Chains A and B, each alone.
Chain A
């Protein structure tokens, strides 16, 4: 009887084999289990190497801990209160924001180069694209060491070039001068970034329908108007992507400052990540460093979410 009922209510599958609803449900469950089994390794890695450290960092941010002992003192929100009045943290954050602004300039240069190199009359486009993109493939530590040499006041290429064109008065100790140290480090970072932006924009430009330009030209639009009303709207996705990426990357930047200036002269080139490193590994204020890390992470997440949501609405 049970078998008959089951048979009567069964439906043929695609392969022609008749299965009961129970069997179908079991199949779905099995499918689900297989699905989870497949993602479990990745989830486990994600949990161990990302979620757990994040949770630990948040826990540490409510403690006073020197990183050397097992005992940690719970101090509630004290670390966060201290951050509010920490002029050094604010100064480091301001340096980060300056860096973000610099990266946007590099994006502009990337867009300009992409526009030029997408023109069919340019010869050797592949060569130039490769050359401009090359710095993006280099380790920032290597880049930092190389540019340290370039900025060397006595033997560096930059001062030598300035002297060569009669600009002796413009030569200086680029990384030791309070006025030029930060721009010099930012310029180094952007040397590795503009080529990446250029490649992203080149991809976007190729996706813009050429008929739009023809239509715009027929309507009397000049080069600037075509850029403003066709190219830039067509590259909105790429622009958003690069804005978010550059914001995240610049807020967590550390390598170049560590290699080139150690945050100096004084604290002039100190960025938040370097300050956090200094708190955690130099002055052994691990709990306070964790609080600064949490604030930085929340800041990055907040800005990223706002930008992406706005983009989605548009």
Chain B
């Protein structure tokens, strides 16, 4: 029986006429509803209630995709009722751990696929292992090796990578053409483009760091353009043995700070939000934007008619192409889920079904599977992004989200120092030492 119909029917026949009586009955009803909700699929009702927390809170386009897929899933599975709640990534990251620790979290959560986030939950026993489901649904056969690696902790799979992501270089080809600037496909061409744009009074690189995390993508681009992935892996994982004070890492920090000192970035970038920086790129106030593939749906929506291109961020001295990035988010089943089997069926449908793969790809979300999107009609920018990911996978590899991958302690250290590094108020050696202190603290805590 459809419980939603029952509720709406109840409301229609509501006999409330006097406010006091209405209040009293409303109080009783809400108590009853809370009790019913807390017991999911109440007694005598075979329907399974699934709760899903998604990080698409600030992305209506992707909310629509998930809602449509979910409707199809519910109509195919009348015994499963799915309630999706959308939060921003910040809100989700700050509320989910506490909710799960109290045993009252959702059944499925779309969480960041880093050791510092998904790994943190998994190692503290708050997520269910997906190994059995991966075998029975053949997820392991379909997911890319790199996607599996990012959501496997201590030998067990805890998440299904939702999107492949890589940081690259967006540029406004119309502005470049107007000023006779060559495509930034080498590091020298990138610097020449920045200088030319600055001389023309156009902000070379749109950048807003008020939210602190964008510095991870900007400085991360410099890092991945010079430092081998093996070295980066050594500093971005708790099991690694690398040091942030590695001279090559410090040199990369200096490179990022140098872009700021050269006036390549949006003025007063620490007082500019990420959204405002992105809008300035939309508006043609900046010629380039160093960001991940995750912003492609927004760019497609907001820059219709503008020739925007997306290329790998060029390596500084001709080594095989690398890129910052990894997995954009991962579906995970919580340890407190009441219906993990239904949760696995839901994940299988919204991520692995042909309909889902095509829908996500059409919306600009890059697959983490062996899905061949050749038959799907997509924007050129989405094809560009596939090329950026492929270039890195075929070259030196895709690295990590700089400073945000290993531990919350390192994230905190990054946020406390990167703003000052870029304004020249903190030198690269000191910044690196602060990151290393935090990493060592995290490593010693196990």
Contacts and interface: CB of A to CB of B under 8 A. Distances in A.
What range describes how many residues of B lie at the interface? 20 to 34
Given A67-B98, A69-B125, A176 B270 contact: yes
Interface string B399-443: 000000000110110011101100101100000000000000000
Main secondary structure of the interface of B (DSSP, over half): helix
B126 A153 contact: no
Contact of A282 (B100, B267, B412): B412
Interface stretch (A21-29, A226-234, A259-267, A301-309): A259-267
Given A69-B124, A173-B268, A278-B412, A265 B423 contact: yes
Nearest to B101: A68
B174 interface: no
A85 to B, nearest CB: 14
Q: Residue among B124, B270, B271 with the most chain A CB within 10 A?
A: B271
Contacts of A173: 268, 270-271
B94 interface: yes
Interface in B197-211: 210-211
Interface string B263-287: 0000111111000000000000000
A284 B126 contact: no
B52 to A, nearest CB: 21
B156 interface: no
A267 B408 contact: no
A283 B268 contact: no
B416 A267 contact: yes
Interface residues of A, number: 25
Contacts of B332: none
Nearest to B410: A283
A265 B420 contact: yes
A266 B271 contact: no
A17 B270 CA distance: 81
A263 B212 CA distance: 10
A207 B195 CA distance: 69
Given A66-B124, A283-B409, A264 B270 contact: yes
A151 B210 CA distance: 13
A281 interface: yes
Contact of B212 (A152, A154, A264): A264
B396 interface: no
A265 B268 contact: no
Contact of A264 (B98, B120, B419): B419
B121 interface: yes
A67 B420 contact: no
Interface string A175-210: 110100000000000000000000000000000000
B340 interface: no
A282 B416 contact: no
Interface in B214-266: none
A266 B121 contact: no
A267 B271 CA distance: 14
Interface string A156-174: 0000000000000000111
B409 A175 contact: no
Given A68-B101, A266-B419, A151 B412 contact: no
Nearest to A279: B412
B320 interface: no
Interface of A: 66-69, 151-154, 172-176, 178, 262-267, 278, 281-284
5 contacts: A173-B270, A178-B425, A262-B212, A266-B426, A278-B412
Given A266-B425, A283-B409, 19 more contacts: A67-B101, A68-B100, A68-B120, A151-B271, A153-B271, A175-B210, A176-B271, A176-B423, A262-B210, A264-B210, A264-B415, A265-B419, A266-B416, A266-B419, A267-B416, A281-B94, A283-B408, A283-B411, A284-B97
Interface of B: 94, 97-98, 100-101, 120-121, 124-126, 210-212, 267-272, 408-409, 411-412, 415-417, 419-420, 423, 425-426
Considering the complex of A and B, which 8 residue pairs feature the smallest CB-CB distances, nearest first?
A173-B268, A176-B270, A176-B271, A173-B271, A68-B124, A153-B268, A266-B420, A265-B419
